[in-house]
């Protein structure tokens, strides 16, 4: 069963869906989840939420502020710490629901939000279980590897020009494509396969997806790093799902992050012959990641309470 929900995050309305199991007795353990860079809730995450529901887990899945059906300005602006605030207020929202057990809250994220959930799990004592799928853990390291040195110089100049524009224009800056097939157009993620997958998703299941962001969003990801938080995850069961050939959020950065997580209650799942984008486009890879996520959440949010 799925129904529409909304909640306030610092006065801004975030909208999404509540998934409830068809079987079993409430209150159910609950998973709070949202997406990555420029994602809307329709992108791949419903496949996970459906599997969670079949296993007896409730889920809230929402659009961040500034995206999709949620309110907020400027549109398509990504501040990772505001998104983390939206996650935490999503947890406040589930605490008000009779259908869920707010003492059994898990958090799940993918790509950019795969890093967010590590920060949240380190800083919010309500979290009882964490799953991060192909997480972004060091934005500057990632971007240096995604772009040539010459392109990165151009992007740095663009970011500085945009900062001056925002100073002179009441905070209003420019925009940049998420990806582009034209090598002469600067974009955040210059990968053809990324462009192809997101364009297909936009044309099929996610018409609310907009394939651009503010330039300031790019500056924000350069300053994003989860490593200072990992030693604070002391007793929260944590799983990372890594694509063996992921070079967008590089697999070795993810492995380094996994090794830094303090808790011994952790699991690393490596999906063979998979890349970042096959976790969206390859049905088998998505199912492997969803099954691993479900198993981990059930192990820590259901089995200890049976």
pLDDT at residue 185, rounded to an integer: 96
Give the residue numbers spanning the domain of 122: 2-142+225-305
In the predicted model, is pLDDT for residue 284 greater than 90? yes
User: Whole-angstrom Cα distance, residue 225 to residue 36?
Assistant: 15
Any idea which residue has 């300053």 for tokens?
223
Q: Pick the closest to residue 19 from 86, 87, 94, 84 (CA basis).
A: 94
Instruction: Tell me what the pLDDT averaged over the chain comes to.
Output: 97
Q: Report the CATH number that the domain containing residue 26 is assigned in CATH.
A: 3.40.50.1820
Any idea which residue has 């790093």 for tokens?
225
pTM: 0.97
E-state strands within the chain: 2-9, 12-19, 28-34, 58-62, 100-110, 127-133, 175-177, 212-214, 238-243, 266-271
- Six-digit token pair at 251? 């697999």
Residue 151 in domain: no
- What value does the CA radius of gyration of the chain take, rounded to a whole number of Å? 18
- Give the chain's domain count: 1
Confidence of residue 280 (pLDDT cuts 50, 70, 90): very high
In the predicted model, is pLDDT for residue 168 greater than 90? yes
The percentage of residues in the chain with a pLDDT greater than 70, rounded to a whole number, is: 100
Q: Pick the closest to residue 119 from 80, 90, 157 (CA basis).
A: 80
**Mean pLDDT value of segment 275-293:** 97
**Mean pLDDT value of segment 16-21:** 98
pLDDT at residue 306, rounded to an integer: 83
pLDDT at residue 54, rounded to an integer: 97
Q: In what order do the strands lie in the sheet with 12-19?
A: 2-9, 12-19, 58-62, 28-34, 100-110, 127-133, 238-243, 266-271
Task: Using alpha carbons, list the distances in angstroms from residue 273 to 13, 16, 32, 55, 246.
Answer: 40, 33, 29, 27, 9
Is residue 169 exposed (0-12), middle (13-18) or buried (19+ Cβ within 10 Å)?
Answer: exposed
pLDDT at residue 153, rounded to an integer: 97
- Six-digit token pair at 297? 């959440």
Q: Pick the closest to residue 58 from 21, 5, 98 (CA basis).
A: 21
Residue 163 in domain: no
Residue 119 in domain: yes
Q: Pick the closest to residue 1 from 28, 41, 33 (CA basis).
A: 28
Confidence of residue 147 (pLDDT cuts 50, 70, 90): very high
pLDDT at residue 228, rounded to an integer: 98
Residue 51 in domain: yes
pLDDT at residue 256, rounded to an integer: 98
**Mean pLDDT value of segment 181-194:** 94
Task: Using alpha carbons, list the distances in angstroms from residue 23 to 17, 30, 230.
Answer: 18, 15, 36
Please write the tens of the pLDDT for every residue from 194-241: 999 999 999 999 999 999 999 999 999 999 999 999 999 999 999 999
Residue 243 in domain: yes
Task: Using alpha carbons, list the distances in angstroms from residue 85 to 120, 141, 221.
Answer: 9, 24, 16
**Mean pLDDT value of segment 128-146:** 97
Any idea which residue has 């088998």 for tokens?
284
**Mean pLDDT value of segment 9-38:** 97
**Mean pLDDT value of segment 92-110:** 97
**Mean pLDDT value of segment 152-179:** 97
pLDDT at residue 135, rounded to an integer: 98
**Mean pLDDT value of segment 90-95:** 98
Count of other CB atoms within 10 angstroms of residue 232: 15
Residue 290 in domain: yes
**Mean pLDDT value of segment 42-57:** 98
Residue 34 in domain: yes
pLDDT at residue 75, rounded to an integer: 98
User: Whole-angstrom Cα distance, residue 104 to residue 262?
Assistant: 21
Residue 104 in domain: yes
**Mean pLDDT value of segment 76-91:** 98
Q: How many CA atoms lie within 13 A of 229 on its CB side?
A: 16
User: Whole-angstrom Cα distance, residue 203 to residue 188?
Assistant: 21
């Amino acid at each position: 069963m799925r129904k529409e929900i909304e909640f306030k995050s610092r006065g801004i309305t975030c909208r999404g869906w509540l998934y409830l199991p068809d079987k079993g007795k409430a209150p159910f353990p609950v998973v709070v989840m949202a997406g990555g860079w420029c994602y809307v809730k329709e992108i791949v995450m419903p496949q996970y939420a459906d599997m969670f529901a079949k296993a007896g887990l409730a889920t809230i899945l929402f659009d961040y502020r500034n995206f999709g059906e949620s309110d907020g300005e400027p549109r398509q602006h990504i501040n990772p710490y505001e998104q983390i605030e939206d996650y935490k207020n999503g947890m406040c929202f589930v605490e008000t629901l009779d259908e869920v057990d707010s003492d059994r809250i898990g958090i799940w994220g993918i790509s950019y939000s795969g890093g967010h959930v590590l920060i949240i799990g380190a800083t919010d004592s309500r979290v009882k279980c964490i799953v991060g799928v192909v997480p972004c853990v060091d934005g500057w390291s990632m971007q240096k590897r995604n772009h040539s040195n010459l392109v990165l110089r151009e992007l740095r100049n663009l970011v500085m020009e945009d900062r001056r524009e925002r100073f002179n224009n009441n905070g209003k800056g420019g925009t940049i494509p998420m990806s582009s097939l034209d090598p002469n157009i600067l974009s955040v993620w210059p990968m053809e396969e990324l462009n192809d997958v997101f364009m297909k998703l936009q044309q099929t299941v996610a018409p609310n997806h907009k394939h651009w962001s503010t330039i300031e969003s790019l500056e924000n990801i350069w300053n994003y790093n989860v490593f200072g938080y990992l030693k604070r995850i002391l007793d929260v069961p944590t799983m990372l799902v890594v694509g063996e050939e992921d070079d967008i959020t590089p697999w070795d950065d993810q492995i380094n992050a996994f090794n830094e997580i303090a808790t011994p209650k952790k699991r690393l799942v490596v999906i063979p012959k998979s890349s970042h984008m096959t976790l969206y486009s390859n049905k088998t890879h998505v199912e492997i990641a969803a099954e691993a996520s479900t198993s981990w959440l059930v192990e820590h949010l259901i089995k200890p309470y049976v």
